[in-house]
Structure 1
Amino acid sequence: MSFKTTIQPSNHTFPVGKDETILEAALEHGYNLPYSCRNGACGVCKGKILQGSVDYGKAQAFVLSEEEKAAGLALFCCAKPLTDLVVESHEVTTEQEITVKTLPCRVEKMVKLADDVMALYLKLPTNERLQFLSGQYIDILQKEGKPRSFSLANAPHDDELLELHVRNIAGGEFTNHVFTKMKERDILRIKGPLGNFFLHEDSPRPIIFVASGTGFAPVKAIIEHALHIGLKREMHFYWGVRKQADFYMLDKVKEWEALGIKFTPVVSDEQWNGRMGFVHQAVLDDFKDLSGYAVYACGAPVVVEAAHREFTTQRGLPNDAFYSDAFTFVPKT
């Protein structure tokens, strides 16, 4: 059994199961309502019930008073529908609308994805969740030295753990620590979400993703979000690495291919039976006109810069249809 819920003023509608909260169902259907703790303790998700009735759930009295309930307010992370609903809530669509937080987290799991790539899965405190847009990044804050930035590789609807892909870089103090000393249950401090690299859902343009190395991480987040919300746009994913062994999570990529995303792997530094050379050149070879496309490029700065320069000057890609995140290496400090 489910109840139809309509968000005002956007007029978006989605079903909410009788055992689901309004927030859970909204996120599940790709509608990004504001939230933070997701357990009734912060009030960020507070909105108004314009029509219908709800079970208020575990809303904390100090966050939602009886007077506020009488005025029609509810915490959407706790409230469950008893009837069809019309609710009033802002929907988050830009990075400026999300609160940047500094939080402790625990290394829940470490998984080696390739010889020099480690996946870190970070768990926030029980009362915290991080709201973010697919493709954004967080900073790891160190006691000494500059913050280290890593893209979130998980989509917003899958936010129980934060997933990072860390490449072991020669001379990288933090990345070396990850591969030689870090262990599960270690405590880190993070700040985020940060960055303006994320999926622009309102554009009708077909998408070309161009990633080098661990630029795969934000692409993974964006693709998983796009598939989750049922985005119908044509999508191509070009992934460039130095050698074939640098590809990882290819089982995940095969799942995307089965759902209609065209994948083109490109290797630059060794012979193999697939496409070779620079990843942005593979796009140039395949597309003679990019004027109608949107490009999302991430990874090594030289790749991102070459893609931007040559796609706009040689293939007619509009400047405002090129979105990028260049991974700049910060030397030991």
Structure 2
Amino acid sequence: MSFKITIQPSGHTFPAAADDSILEGALAHGLLLPYSCRNGACGVCKGRILAGNVDYGEYQDTTLTHAEKAAGMALFCCAKPLSDLVIESHEVSRAQEIPVKMLPCRVEKMQKVADDVMVLWLKLPANERLQFLAGQYIDILQKDDKPRSFSLANAPHDDGLLELHVRHIPGGTFTEQVFTRMRERDILRIKGPLGTFFLREDNDRPIIFVASGTGFAPVKAIIEHALKIGFQREMHFYWGVRKVSDLYMLDKIGEWEKLGIRFTPVVSDEAWHGRTGFVHDAVLQDFSDLSAYAVYACGAPVMVQAAHRDFSAQRGLQDDAFFSDMFTFAPKQ
């Protein structure tokens, strides 16, 4: 059974299954309500039930008092609909509205997906969740006080674990640790979410994603979020790598292609059956006019800078339609 939930004052609506919390239903349909712990302990998701009935679920009495319940308040991470609902809640629409946290986490799983790429899945404490927009990044906090920045590769609706794609940089303190000494169940400290590289859902332009190397990670998060919310845009994904073996998670990309994402891998340092050269040149070859498009570029600074320069000068891309995140070996500012 599914119920219709209406959020005020925005007027946004979404369906929620009877066994899903109000927050889970909202996140599944791309509507970001404030939240943190997702287990009834912190109170960040507290809002008002204006019409309808809910099962309040399990929560801490100090977080939602009897007086608050009598006044119509509920914790949306715990409350489940028993009927159609009208609720009152703020909606998060900008990165600046999401609180930045410092949290411990545990390395839950590690998987080497390419010669020099390790995927880490990090688990937060049971009473914590990290609220973020698809495409944002976190800092790994090190004892030398120099944070290492990594994009989140999972979408917000799939936040049970945080997914990072780490490229091995010879001599890099943290990446050497990941590839030689790190083990599952190791403890790390993180800070986030950070950054302004995320999907602009109110922009109706068709989208071209351009990534180099592990710039794939935030693009993955954005595409998975877009597909989850039924984002109706033409979407192209160009991924530039040095070697064919650098292309990983191709089975997942194949699933995206079946759903309409147009994928173009570009290999720079090897001969193969597909496109070769620089990834942004492949976009220039395929599009004579980018004035009606939005471009999301992520990866090496030389690629991002060349894409911005050439797409604007040669193909008419508008400055306000170019969004980027440059991967450097120093903390992001």
Instruction: Please report the TM-score for the alignment, with normalisation by the length of structure 1.
Output: 0.98
Larger mean CA deviation between 33-42 and 81-90 belongs to 81-90
- What is the match of residue 12 of structure 2? 12
Other-structure match for 1:174: 174
Give the Cα separation in 1 of the matches to 2:258 and 2:84. 36
Aligned length: 331
Please report how far the alpha carbon of residue 119 of structure 1 lies from its aligned counterpart in structure 2 after TM superposition.
0.1
SS in 2 for 1:304: helix
* Residue 109 of structure 1: how far off its partner (Å): 0.1
Partner of 2:142: 142
Equivalent residue for 2:104? 104
**Mapped partners of 1:257, 1:171: distance in 2:** 37
> Displacement, 1:227?
0.3
State the match for 1:126 in structure 2: 126
Shift of 1:299: 0.3
Residue range with higher mean Cα deviation, 86-95 or 295-304: 86-95
Contiguous gaps of at least 5 residues in structure 1: none
- The one-character-per-residue Cα deviations of 1:27-71 (angstroms, maximum 9, x if unpaired) are 111111110000000010011111112111112111111111111
Paired with 2:190 and 2:137, the residues of 1 have a C-alpha distance of: 10
1:86-115 deviation digits (Å, cap 9, x = unpaired) = 001111111001010000000000000101
User: Are residues 1:86 and 2:86 paired?
Assistant: yes
- 2:303 is matched with 303
| Residue of structure 2 in register with 1:56 after alignment | 56
Aligned-pair CA distance for 1:145: 3.9
SS of 1:25's partner is helix
Q: 1:319, CA displacement in angstroms?
A: 0.5
Shift of 1:14: 1.4
Q: Helix, strand or coil for the counterpart of 1:188?
A: strand
- Mapped to 1, the partners of 2:210 and 2:273 lie a distance apart of 20
The match for 1:317 is 317
Letter in 2 for 1:24: E
- Tell me the residue number matched to 1:75: 75
Partner SS, residue 105 of structure 2 = strand
List, as ranges, runs of 4+ consecutive aligned residues in structure 1 with deviation greater than 2 Å: none
Partner of 1:251: 251
Partner amino acid, structure 2, of 1:267? V
Provide the C-alpha distance between the structure 2 equivalents of 1:2 and 1:240, rounded to a whole number of angstroms: 43
- Cα deviation, 1:126-149, whole Å, max 9, x if unaligned, reads 000101000000000001141000
Where structure 2 has 5 or more consecutive residues not aligned to the other structure, the ranges are none
| Letter of the structure 2 residue corresponding to residue 66 of structure 1 | H
Aligned AA for 2:94? T
User: Deviation at 1:329?
Assistant: 1.2
User: Residues of 2 paired with 1:214 and 1:272: CA distance?
Assistant: 20
Find out whether 1:28 has 2:14 as its counterpart. no
Output the CA distance in 2 between the equivalents of 1:258 and 1:21: 30
Q: CA deviation at 1:286?
A: 0.5
Instruction: Calculate the aligned-residue CA RMSD, in Å.
Output: 0.9
Residue of structure 1 equivalent to 2:224: 224
TM-score (norm 2): 0.98
2:187 is aligned to 187
Partner of residue 215, structure 1: 215
Alignment of 1:38-49 (within 5 A): 38-49=38-49
Which range moves more in the overlay, 20-29 or 178-187?
A: 20-29
Deviation at residue 330 of structure 1 after TM alignment: 2.8
Partners of 1:33 and 1:115 in 2: how far apart? Answer: 39
